[in-house]
Structure 1
Amino acid sequence: MARLIDIKLPKAIASALRLSQKDAQRQQLRVLKKLLKKARFTAFGQHYDFDKILLNVHPAKAFQQTVPVHDYNKIYEDWWKKTLDGVPDVTWPGKIKYYALSSGTSEAASKYIPVTKEMLRSNRVNYIRQLISLLSYEHLPRNAVTKGFLMLGGATDLQKGAAGWYAGDLSGILARNRPFWFQTFYKPGGRIARIKDWNEKLNEIVEHARDWDIGYIVGVPAWCQMCMEMVIEHYGVKNIHEVWPNLGFFVHGGVAFEPYKKGFEKLLGKPIVYIENYLASEGFIGFKNREDAQGIHLILNNNIFLEFVPFDDKNFDGEGKMIANPEALMVHEVEEGKEYALLLSNNAGAWRYLLGDTVRFVNKKRSEVVITGRTKHFLSLVGEHLSVENMNKAVELVSNEFNVSIPEFTVMGFPHQNLFAHKWYIACNDEVDPNALIKRIDERLCELNDDYAVERTSALKEIFVQILPEETFIKFMESKGKLGSQHKFPRVLKGKMLKDWEAFLNHG
């Protein structure tokens, strides 16, 4: 780690690293004012009179009363679409050079999320903060600290737009803009990173695996697990540490790691440290900054202003769509144990933007949260209020109990015999009794969720299961053009994605 810390950093980054972590409310007000000042001469800032908001005695409240909330479709149609034609100063000063392509897990068409140089700089600051926070870990695998970073992400060979911008996975954009001092540590290197075909990229990584001294693996759990399995098989070894003996860290985010952990640890020769971060296409929102933390520490002092909308029937309909004027709280107004949807304003021109994630505060004093799911990824056909967090935890408990690996699963709800039912599709390559497995998952869900337990005695009549090879889930993602990188399989299937999944199973 000394090699990283001793490097002379740019003044802007060094200054950001020294920002105080105290007083969450003050930090967020400072961030909001900074964003408003920077964007006050943009078309968006002029339309919503940012100057007047800045002069208000309570700028945060004035901001919430003046600027409407936006989901992607609204802000894209009203504002961001213009930037794709090269129009400058729309929602952020200057032209947008990069767009992160994000289809999430429920949308078919790609979303174009603006990525600015200011946002890339903020992300770099937060990566360095996260690395420095490792020094406080008591059980630190020191041999791994200064070794290579294998980053499994999107291609750095981005598509170019007519107006001169570039678009691709955020991971590819970040890798393309990696700082010069990181070159020594970065794997798989520029040539392999440019490869767009995911299978070709994995095969190249496998071929060169023995040439690298990897200390960190960074990426989405499912694809990192697949990569390690391929390396182990290719070299005929028992575990990944026979190829990378100094592997000590796995940095992950975007999905809950619990369902993958059992299968992941079967590939290891010794324990490693799991580091969770919260990196979205719209910004680096938080990371686990201490070893015994229950959740992710929200970054409140680096160009992201957060609001928290209670995830309840008052603010969202049954399909997870937010109302026009929801109740929105600042970080000092939230309560522990309650679930909130995130609104985000950032230094790339997102304003009161519904991120789509739901979180729960586990430590308000330290601003620590756990990600509980997505606003549109939950099941509540009859009031069971089954969250992705509930599902992940039940699968983790049962996979440990049965000693099987369940790397993927998804759930759907449907009418059944005048009442309702759930159906689980579970990826498991181990031998397991489907009836025993789903019975235990059902029992665990009843223990974890009182509403679910009540509905299982009334309107939620049956729980069905279909066990599938892991390859089925991978092939479906491939058929949707979402193989690899940051793409995640949806935990709840609804609408078009459900129809496509059923058609794939019937004809795929």
Structure 2
Amino acid sequence: MAFINSLISLFMQKRLNQIDNFKANPTETQRNTLRELLLTAANTAYGQKYDFKSILTAEQYRERLPIVHYEDIKDLIAQTMEGTQNILWPEDIKWFAKSSGTTDAKSKFIPVSPSSLENCHFRGGKDIIGIVNRLYPDAQVFGGKTLALGGSSEISSTNSNCQYGDLSAILISNTPFWANFMKTPDVSIMLMSNWEEKLERICETTIKEDVRCLAGVPSWFLTLINKILEKTGKSNLHEVWPNLELFIHGGISFIPYREQYKKLLPNPKMKYLETYNASEGFFGIQDDPNDTSLLLMLDYGVYYEFIPTSELGKSQPQALLLEEIEKDVNYALVITTNGGLWRYMIGDTIMFTSTDPYKFKITGRTKLFINAFGEELIIDNATEALRITCEKTDCHILEFTAAPIFMNGGKKGAHEWLIEFETPPADIEQFASILDTELQKLNSDYEAKRLLSLERLKIHMARPNLFNDWLKGQGKLGGQNKVPRLWNDRKHIDQLLEMNSYS
């Protein structure tokens, strides 16, 4: 095992030196990244529209190009999916990461270019190996298999050369053959679309393997872990895989799941490493086990700008360059990528905990949302689903709030809703079933997680004036104060449920 670690150290040393270099020279690294992106895409339709060739500085770039959301460029992406190339990026783009819906679309499709695959997503994966090897030189993790849990892929019906699916499926489909020797289960199983069948096959095949690393979304893995323990009759996962010692996780906050994982993985040798790998790019890696912040990866072909969340309500919010940011300020992330996204508002918010090097924590979304299980339910989905459900059940709503019920003791999670009706439905269970169905129609990620890690949503009927009484108790009754309708934690809904039970 020492030989394998030494070999990895030898091959990764040059790359680790490059990481140390961008940590020491962040501004230069980012300006060079922007210069390369502009030069590469200068002759694309988008590059000609904004005359990329004449943009010489980061300041000029900030002044010249607009900040865009998915809705602003979805027609250009649709043209690319239909086969027209050289619109946003000069390479042929055949892969698109299917992500959660926006205001007026069930799903969005993020271009994944060959450059973004190789120089962003895959470079991030390789860097994880180098960072883990540097942090834990005596670890045994590389002597066995990594169990990666991903999604499925499908071929577009409009263009046989266009494929879309979860980002995880795209990465699995394009992984170099040699890397598959380090992974389990087989690619054919990892790409299965039927989740229940996939879980069964994963359990059957991986139980016999020497699994030493898990990689994926915490909520997804809880479902798999509980199924494996049920099948094997073991009390924790180390009894199944004695050499398991690393969990690489991302996608959602690990905080609500930390205690559950300690029970399922009680061995003190167990290590955890968080990453920030989105459909749009790979952005951060935890490089210090004693610090939960993520290192901002500055040389992946991604150029960053940051909008203070206090600016988001303005018609022309001011974006800051990396060297202009401050610690402990909430920023909306704006990215320019080697996948052809130009000043794109990704929708995530972050806060820097350090500027030497640049390290951050993910703080949430720019819109109200629930993303406890990777479902990315935004307020637009919720209000539209409620509108349709009320029409179908002939009822009217005054106020509502919703929050996650986190997985516990092998049980799936769920969304819990508290609704104050003006005219209640005749059958609250029927109302819940219709609302659940409509949410799945509007949001493909919620639909996928309902098969994976979510039970049908639960609804409580609120007593009259509950929400006003709660706002009054918070000193926020009247004015512009509003009930928090979607929250990614249970702080508010637990207070409201308690008030509802004793009033």
Give yes or no for TM over 0.5: yes
SS of equivalent to 1:348: coil
Q: Partner amino acid for 1:35?
A: L
Listed as ranges, the matches of 1:281-320 within 5 Å are 281-312=279-310, 314-316=311-313
SS of equivalent to 1:372: strand
CA distance in 2, matches of 1:211, 1:341: 44
TM-superposed CA distance for 1:21, in Å, is: 2.9
Aligned to 2:339: 348
TM-superposed CA distance for 1:143, in Å, is: 2.5
Listed as ranges, the matches of 1:46-61 within 5 Å are 46-54=48-56, 59-61=57-59
CA distance in 2, matches of 1:168, 1:63: 32
Q: 1:33 to 1:428 in 2, by over 3 A?
A: closer
CA distance in 2, matches of 1:260, 1:284: 23
Aligned to 2:23: 21
Please say which of residues 101-110 and 165-174 is displaced more in the overlay.
101-110
2:168 matched to 1:171? yes
Q: 1:3 to 1:134 in 2, by over 3 A?
A: same
Listed as ranges, the matches of 1:92-111 within 5 Å are 92-103=89-100, 109-111=106-108
Query: Percent identity between the aligned chains?
Result: 31
Query: Where in structure 1 are there 5+ consecutive unaligned residues?
Result: 317-322, 379-387, 393-405, 432-437, 439-471, 496-508
CA distance in 1, matches of 2:407, 2:211: 29
Q: Partner amino acid for 1:121?
A: E
Q: Deviations over 1:339-365 (max 9, x none)?
A: 000000000100000010000001121
CA distance in 2, matches of 1:364, 1:120: 28
Aligned to 2:64: 66
CA contact (8 A) 1:133 1:289 kept: yes
Q: Deviations over 1:456-482 (max 9, x none)?
A: xxxxxxxxxxxxxxxx9xx87878653
Q: Partner amino acid for 1:266?
A: K
**Of the candidates 143, 147, 151, which is equivalent to residue 150 of structure 1?**
147
SS of equivalent to 1:217: strand
Q: Deviations over 1:166-185 (max 9, x none)?
A: 11111000011112221211
**Of the candidates 341, 347, 352, which is equivalent to residue 361 of structure 1?**
352
Q: Deviations over 1:312-366 (max 9, x none)?
A: 1x323xxxxxx44211001111110000000000001000000100000011211
CA contact (8 A) 1:343 1:352 kept: yes
SS of equivalent to 2:78: helix
Aligned to 1:228: 225
Aligned to 1:254: 251
TM-superposed CA distance for 1:374, in Å, is: 0.5
CA contact (8 A) 2:4 2:142 kept: no
CA distance in 1, matches of 2:257, 2:101: 20
Please say which of residues 351-360 and 13-22 is displaced more in the overlay.
13-22
Aligned to 1:483: 448
Q: CA RMSD in A?
A: 3.8
SS of equivalent to 1:279: strand
CA distance in 2, matches of 1:15, 1:366: 14
Aligned to 1:465: none
SS of equivalent to 2:143: coil
Q: Partner amino acid for 1:229?
A: N
CA contact (8 A) 1:154 1:486 kept: no
Query: Where in structure 2 are there 5+ consecutive unaligned residues?
Result: 384-397, 411-415, 417-432, 458-483, 488-503
Q: 1:94 to 1:333 in 2, by over 3 A?
A: same
Listed as ranges, the matches of 1:28-427 within 5 Å are 28-54=30-56, 59-77=57-75, 79-103=76-100, 109-122=106-119, 123-137=121-135, 142-156=139-153, 158-159=155-156, 161-162=158-159, 164-271=161-268, 272-312=270-310, 314-316=311-313, 323-377=314-368, 424=403, 426-427=405-406
Q: Deviations over 1:370-423 (max 9, x none)?
A: 000000026xxxxxxxxx89xx9xxxxxxxxxxxxx999999999xxxx98855
CA distance in 2, matches of 1:184, 1:304: 30
TM-superposed CA distance for 1:212, in Å, is: 1.1
CA contact (8 A) 2:245 2:271 kept: yes
CA contact (8 A) 1:308 1:331 kept: yes
CA distance in 1, matches of 2:305, 2:318: 10
Q: Deviations over 1:275-321 (max 9, x none)?
A: 10000101101110122224000011220000000011x323xxxxx
CA distance in 1, matches of 2:74, 2:404: 34
Aligned to 2:460: none
CA contact (8 A) 1:410 1:493 kept: no
TM-superposed CA distance for 1:494, in Å, is: 5.4
CA distance in 2, matches of 1:486, 1:105: 21
SS of equivalent to 2:221: helix
CA distance in 2, matches of 1:485, 1:187: 25
CA contact (8 A) 1:104 1:487 kept: no
CA distance in 2, matches of 1:69, 1:353: 6
TM-superposed CA distance for 1:262, in Å, is: 1.7
Q: 1:68 to 1:269 in 2, by over 3 A?
A: same
Q: 1:121 to 1:493 in 2, by over 3 A?
A: farther
CA distance in 2, matches of 1:349, 1:135: 33
Q: Partner amino acid for 1:483?
A: A
TM-superposed CA distance for 1:88, in Å, is: 1.3
CA distance in 1, matches of 2:22, 2:175: 26
CA distance in 1, matches of 2:6, 2:48: 42
